[in-house]
Amino acid sequence: MNQNIGLQLTRVPRLWRAVIDERLAPLGLTQTRWITLYTLWRLGDGQPQCELARAIGVEAPSLVRTLDQLASQGLIERQPCDQDRRTKRVFLTHKAAPLLEKIDAVVTVARAEMLDGLSDADVDQLAELLTRIENNGLALQARDAEAGAATAQS
């Protein structure tokens, strides 16, 4: 078994984002901002802040500063949730549309270049394998959390 797989799994996403970051720098976008905008765009308007944070992989309080910055730029709006006034939903503004088209173009080209030499079947298999690894990790986290809770109760 390849003992370096864990290192590769940490290096590749970092490299992927670095390529995109460099190409988006002329637009004045930090990684946090473009990822937040792009994720919201892909998920669809009206996402609760906590769900958006989960999708990005950050804690909800960490996302608030980025959302404040995007709101001050006029790229997003936050509105209270009808069902729960404590929850804010995030919406893209019309001003964000042209910027998102540019982000998507950069991401699409970078993806094609990063996956160069891989067939569609290779990419499908890679996605399936990464999903399995992710699911295994989530199961381990849940198991470890249960074990920690059981130990705390003892």
| pLDDT, tens digit, 9 for 90 and up, residues 81-132 | 777 777 889 999 999 999 999 999 999 999 999 999 999 999 999 999 999 9
Residue 133 lies in a domain: no
In a domain, 85, yes or no: yes
Is 149 among the domain residues? no
Question: Which of helix, strand or coil describes residue 99?
Answer: helix
The pLDDT tens digits for 46-81 are: 999 989 999 998 998 889 999 999 999 999 999 987
Q: Is residue 124 part of a domain?
A: no
Q: Is residue 144 one of the residues assigned to a domain?
A: no
**Residue 77: which of 65, 99, 93, 95 has the closest Cα?**
93
pLDDT band at 1 (very low <50, low <70, confident <90, very high): low
129 within some domain: no
**Does the residue 139 lie in any domain?**
no
Asked if pLDDT for residue 135 goes beyond 90, the answer is yes
SS3 115: coil
Segments forming the whole domain that contains residue 105? 5-116
Number of domains present in the structure of the chain? 1
Does 122 map to a domain? no
- CA distance readout (Å), 53 to 59, 111, 112: 6, 23, 27
pLDDT band (50, 70, 90) for residue 152: confident
Q: Environment class of residue 17 by beta-carbon count within 10 Å: exposed (0-12), middle (13-18) or buried (19+)?
A: middle
Say which CATH number the domain at 27 has.
1.10.10.10
CB atoms within 10 A of CB 54: 14
Report how far residue 39's alpha carbon sits from residue 71's, in angstroms, rounded to the nearest whole number: 16
Q: What angle do CA 73, 77, 83 make, to 5 degrees?
A: 160
pTM: 0.79
